[in-house]
Structure 1
Amino acid sequence: MDIISLIIFLAVGALAGWLAGKIIKGRGFGVIGNIIVGIVGAVLGGFLFGVLGITTGGLLGSIIMATIGAVILLFLIRLVKRA
């Protein structure tokens, strides 16, 4: 992975984490927390989309997939915190 790919990967993660925080209406985790939530959400979203047989292409598809995964992740975190 070259440096440009890494920067794009982190930017998509940060954007997905921020969008997920806005959708869930949380207080946010800060920049680093949003990047982590976005990256983990991208992995979760990629896994779920693969299981469902849904393919995404391009930057926009990656952002949407990562955001959906991050929203699911934040939802699961809230469920665990309430229990």
Structure 2
Amino acid sequence: MEELNGATIYWLISIGMLVGYLTDLLMIKRGIGTIGNVVWGAVGSLIIGVICIILGLFGPLVYAALGSIAFLFLINVFSFHSDSVADASASEPY
């Protein structure tokens, strides 16, 4: 059973950052960018990992990785940003 200490928090953040970086590599020039994916991956992993530790679930690091993937999926799908290529072509007169 895991306990919430400095080493566990370190591993939760590290797993989240790794998942965020791999997510950025998979989403080539789409989504929220490298820094956003790494930061939000760490945040999602930390939130899910702490919740799993508090609830006493088995394997909080695995749940943290899966939760970070789900969290990044939601953030990348619902991120609102304009496509600069589409905006530039729409403003050109014909």
TM-score by length of 2: 0.52
Equivalent in 29, 33, 37 of residue 34 of structure 2: 29
- Secondary structure of the equivalent of 1:82? coil
Of 5, 9, 13, the match for 1:6: 9
What is the TM-score with the length of structure 1 in the denominator?
0.57
Whichever structure has more helix as a proportion of its residues is 1
| Structure 2: runs of 5 or more not aligned | 49-56, 84-94
CA distance in 2, matches of 1:7, 1:17: 15
Shift of 1:73: 0.6
Q: Could you say which structure has the larger radius of gyration?
A: 2
Higher relative contact order, structure no. (Cα contacts within 8 Å, ≥ 6 residues apart): 1
